[in-house]
Chains A and B, each alone.
Chain A
Amino acid sequence: MFLRITISNILLMVFLSGICREIVVSPQEGLISLKQAIEMANHGDTIRVKPGTYECRNLFIEKPLTLIGEKGAVLDGGNESYVLKLLADNITIEGFEINNSGKSYTKDYAAIYVSGTSGFRIIANKIDQSFFGILVEKSRNGLIRDNRVNGNAKREDESGNGIHLWHCDSVKITNNEVSGMRDGIYLEFVSASQVTQNHTHANVRYGLHFMFSSHDDYVGNTFENNGAGVAVMFSKWIRMESNNFIKNWGTASYGLLLKEIYDGEVINNRFEENTMGIYVDGSSRVNYLNNTLKQNGWAIKVSGGCYSNQFSHNNFIGNSFDISYNSRMNDNTFHGNFWSEYTGYDLDKDGKGDIPYRPVKLFSYIVNQTPETIVLLRSLFVDIINFSEKVSPVFTPDDLVDDSPSMKMFL
């Protein structure tokens, strides 16, 4: 008898804890405090938040919960500190408007802060006027999807990043929009993650910034009009595919900066109207295939210590300088690209030009040596010396040629 009661009690408890309750929070009736709801909730419960503004300062969530904001549910941080802190596994935050985290020069206050968890899901939130947008530390297997982070950052040192990941693993960042922050998306020590279909624009510093992050994929993102473009540093086995790098204009601005990148792939991207399309510094064994570089100042600028990179089937259209080198050494191969400035012919009609193309102009070499000479850009004299150098190269790397330039643009 005693045994039966005990067993049925245990069964009941298992049953009760197994069932996921839904708790409703509403500003008008019943439960009005989100904090209270979280305290009441059991593991795995869903808290549904009705429209209204909720004060929400430094709110800890320390058990696996699903928080769903109905349209118009606003969490206001009151400019004080963090807004939400996600400190347990399997927490879902969906559909909130989150405003006004605190600002600090010593603490990384964020609208949504995630630390030491696994399986977090941050979906379709709208974050405004916050120091950091979504800040994730030491977490894995997460999803950050459909969020919009807006700010009005003016200076680098007093603003935070839109989506910031540090020491993470296997996180998917998809379809977010970040504007007006310091860096749009920042990743440091993040591995095996995917960054896809995001749009970052008008951020003060980089649209995307990642360091020491290996084995990551960046696919289908658009980086537009950011202060300094996209910076990729000290990472290995990176795949960047089908991204757009547009209008990153400025004296220290580029579409894509690759610094100390090894064994990467840069495929099918578009670089349009950037001061520098791709700036490659100390990167080796990277393949650049099927990219389109159009109307950039420098399409590709290669500086010291870049070995065994391969540039194939790219379109170079109307750039002021196609390739710029700062030395006469060349260990990279250019093969079968389309160059809009190519003036050769194709007698055997195989679609490949019969005379090799030299993408490095003498003037770009001179500009590297003496930057002030750039004032002579587009003058007749420069055209003449470029032509004579083209005929018999003396200063530019003489093995830097595209032996079979394509006659047709790649689509």
Chain B
Amino acid sequence: MIKILKYSFSDLIRSRWSYIYLVFYLILGFSLLFLNNDLSKAIITLMNIIVVLTPMIGTIFGVMYFYNSREFTELLLAQPVRRSRIFLGQYLGISISLALSLTMGLGIPFLIYGIFQSPEIFNFLMLLVSGTFLTFIFVALSINIALFNTNKIKGFGYAILMWLFFAVIYDGLFLISLVVFNDYPLDNLALTASFLNPIDLSRIMILLKLDISALLGYTGALFQKFFGTGTGLLSSIAMLLIWVMIPIFTMVKKSERKDF
């Protein structure tokens, strides 16, 4: 598995897209810091971008890489290697290289602007951790989609739809249900609904850390009570871990039974 991981990783690291992705984050980080020089505000802006962008890049990269390396995968399948190892190796290769682009691309500018001397270091780490989690989650989901769909066009369509669902449609349904059930106590519903979607979860985790909680009024107090504590943080991270584990599990299951 480590060998396959290494191969996928070095394959991706050498590819142009990883560099473009890295350079994009470098430019983003530098220009944000150059423009306002305020670490805390830069982190808020980055949060807006990361929460939408990392899932999208993860999804597209995952599907693309899986379809493109199909022939190589088939070649590997002919070797005496366990199937789960092959797919896990590929999955980790993609995820790690994307996460590396993210952390390096943002880490370098922030390091230069002195994140270690700043009290914002914890928030910044939070941002990187949730970005990394989102990458791992969405790469896993997209490989699942690719495994279930041999048809490239279909698979690509489903993958984009999946991203759209978590990034936009989910929030839309969430908002509508909150407005429709206005007359009922909604705090726990809001808490649960935002807890279930990894994008919403990371957004709220970072928002609450960035002192915006007072804006959220009474609901915010409830959120703060949950997310602000150690257990809240731990359970959010546990939730994100579950979001990584489930798709990996189905990926392994499906890959073992799939007829190539």
Q: Provide the residues of chain B in CB contact with A275, threshold 8 Å.
A: 214-215
Q: Which of B63-71, B86-94, B174-182 forms contacts with chain A?
A: B174-182
Find A372's partner among B168, B200, B203, B219 (CB 8 Å cutoff).
B219
A260-301 to B contact mask, C-beta < 8 Å, 1/0? 000000000000000100000000000000000000011000
Q: How far is the CA of A253 from the CA of B214 in the complex (A)?
A: 9
Residues A384 and B179 in contact, CB atoms below 8 Å apart: no
Rounded to whole Å, the gap between the CB of A279 and the closest CB of chain B is 13
Q: Is B238 an interface residue (CB 8 A)?
A: no
Q: Is B259 an interface residue (CB 8 A)?
A: no
Q: Is B223 an interface residue (CB 8 A)?
A: yes
Find A320's partner among B167, B179, B212, B221 (CB 8 Å cutoff).
B212
Q: How far is the CA of A298 from the CA of B215 in the complex (A)?
A: 8
Interface residues in B, total, Cβ within 8 A: 37
Q: Is B255 an interface residue (CB 8 A)?
A: no
Q: Which of A40-48, A85-93, A353-361, A373-381 forms contacts with chain B?
A: A373-381
Residues B219 and A374 in contact, CB atoms below 8 Å apart: yes
Residues B217 and A374 in contact, CB atoms below 8 Å apart: yes
Residues B220 and A251 in contact, CB atoms below 8 Å apart: yes
Q: Is B52 an interface residue (CB 8 A)?
A: yes
Q: How far is the CA of A372 from the CA of B184 in the complex (A)?
A: 11
Q: How far is the CA of A382 from the CA of B51 in the complex (A)?
A: 14
Extra pairs beyond A371-B217, A384-B168 (17, CB < 8 Å):
A297-B212, A297-B214, A366-B175, A369-B182, A370-B178, A371-B218, A372-B187, A374-B216, A375-B190, A375-B204, A375-B216, A376-B174, A377-B215, A377-B216, A378-B47, A378-B207, A380-B167
Q: Is B186 an interface residue (CB 8 A)?
A: yes
The residue in chain B whose Cβ has the minimal distance to the Cβ of A383 is: B48
Residues from 170 to 198 in B contacting A, C-beta threshold 8 Å = 171-172, 174-175, 178-179, 182, 186-187, 189-190, 194
Residues A372 and B207 in contact, CB atoms below 8 Å apart: no
Rounded to whole Å, the gap between the CB of B56 and the closest CB of chain A is 10
Interface residues in A, total, Cβ within 8 A: 25
Residues B215 and A375 in contact, CB atoms below 8 Å apart: no
19 contacting pairs across A/B (C-beta < 8 A): A251-B217, A251-B218, A297-B212, A297-B215, A366-B179, A370-B178, A370-B186, A371-B218, A372-B190, A372-B219, A373-B190, A374-B217, A376-B174, A377-B207, A377-B215, A379-B171, A379-B203, A380-B171, A381-B171
Q: How far is the CA of A382 from the CA of B217 in the complex (A)?
A: 18
Q: Provide the residues of chain A in CB contact with B221, threshold 8 Å.
A: 251
Q: How far is the CA of A375 from the CA of B203 in the complex (A)?
A: 9
Rounded to whole Å, the gap between the CB of B198 and the closest CB of chain A is 13
Q: How far is the CA of A376 from the CA of B51 in the complex (A)?
A: 13
Find A371's partner among B47, B203, B212, B219 (CB 8 Å cutoff).
B219
Rounded to whole Å, the gap between the CB of B131 and the closest CB of chain A is 15
Residues from 359 to 407 in A contacting B, C-beta threshold 8 Å = 366, 369-382, 384
Residues from 19 to 46 in A contacting B, C-beta threshold 8 Å = none
Residues A381 and B175 in contact, CB atoms below 8 Å apart: yes
Q: How far is the CA of A378 from the CA of B187 in the complex (A)?
A: 19
Residues B212 and A372 in contact, CB atoms below 8 Å apart: no
Residues B168 and A380 in contact, CB atoms below 8 Å apart: yes
- Interface residues, chain B, with chain A CB atoms under 8 Å away: 41, 44, 47-48, 51-52, 167-169, 171-172, 174-175, 178-179, 182, 186-187, 189-190, 194, 199-200, 203-204, 207, 211-212, 214-221, 223
Rounded to whole Å, the gap between the CB of A242 and the closest CB of chain B is 25
Find A373's partner among B48, B175, B204 (CB 8 Å cutoff).
B175
The residue in chain B whose Cβ has the minimal distance to the Cβ of A321 is: B215
Q: How far is the CA of A25 from the CA of B169 in the complex (A)?
A: 80
Q: How far is the CA of A379 from the CA of B166 in the complex (A)?
A: 11
Q: How far is the CA of A176 from the CA of B194 in the complex (A)?
A: 47
Find B168's partner among A253, A378, A381 (CB 8 Å cutoff).
A381
Question: Which of A249, A375, A380, A382 has the most chain B CB atoms closer than 10 A to its own CB?
Answer: A375
Rounded to whole Å, the gap between the CB of B216 and the closest CB of chain A is 5
Residues B214 and A249 in contact, CB atoms below 8 Å apart: yes
The residue in chain A whose Cβ has the minimal distance to the Cβ of B204 is: A375
Q: Is A250 an interface residue (CB 8 A)?
A: yes
Q: Provide the residues of chain A in CB contact with B216, threshold 8 Å.
A: 251, 374-375, 377
Q: How far is the CA of A251 from the CA of B218 in the complex (A)?
A: 7
Q: Provide the residues of chain B in CB contact with A320, threshold 8 Å.
A: 212, 215
Q: Provide the residues of chain B in CB contact with A366, threshold 8 Å.
A: 175, 179
Q: How far is the CA of A241 from the CA of B66 in the complex (A)?
A: 64
Q: Provide the residues of chain A in CB contact with B171, threshold 8 Å.
A: 376, 379-382
CB-CB under 8 A for A375 and B214, given A381-B171, A382-B171? no
Rounded to whole Å, the gap between the CB of A102 and the closest CB of chain B is 36
Rounded to whole Å, the gap between the CB of A359 and the closest CB of chain B is 17
Find B211's partner among A249, A369, A376 (CB 8 Å cutoff).
A249
Q: Provide the residues of chain A in CB contact with B182, threshold 8 Å.
A: 369-370
Q: Provide the residues of chain A in CB contact with B207, threshold 8 Å.
A: 377-378
The residue in chain B whose Cβ has the minimal distance to the Cβ of A379 is: B171
Residues B220 and A374 in contact, CB atoms below 8 Å apart: yes
A79-120 to B contact mask, C-beta < 8 Å, 1/0? 000000000000000000000000000000000000000000
* Nearest 10 Cβ contacts at the A-B interface: A381-B171, A297-B215, A372-B186, A372-B190, A275-B214, A249-B214, A372-B219, A379-B171, A373-B178, A381-B168
Find A251's partner among B172, B187, B203, B214 (CB 8 Å cutoff).
B214
Q: Provide the residues of chain A in CB contact with B186, threshold 8 Å.
A: 370, 372
CB-CB under 8 A for A369 and B179, given A380-B171, A381-B171, A384-B168? yes
The residue in chain A whose Cβ has the minimal distance to the Cβ of B180 is: A370
Rounded to whole Å, the gap between the CB of A300 and the closest CB of chain B is 15
The residue in chain A whose Cβ has the minimal distance to the Cβ of B197 is: A379
Q: How far is the CA of A373 from the CA of B173 in the complex (A)?
A: 12
Q: Provide the residues of chain A in CB contact with B41, threshold 8 Å.
A: 318
Residues B223 and A375 in contact, CB atoms below 8 Å apart: yes
Residues A375 and B172 in contact, CB atoms below 8 Å apart: no
Q: Provide the residues of chain A in CB contact with B223, threshold 8 Å.
A: 375
Q: How far is the CA of A217 from the CA of B18 in the complex (A)?
A: 62
Rounded to whole Å, the gap between the CB of B102 and the closest CB of chain A is 19
Rounded to whole Å, the gap between the CB of A341 and the closest CB of chain B is 14
Q: How far is the CA of A318 from the CA of B44 in the complex (A)?
A: 12
Q: How far is the CA of A329 from the CA of B186 in the complex (A)?
A: 28
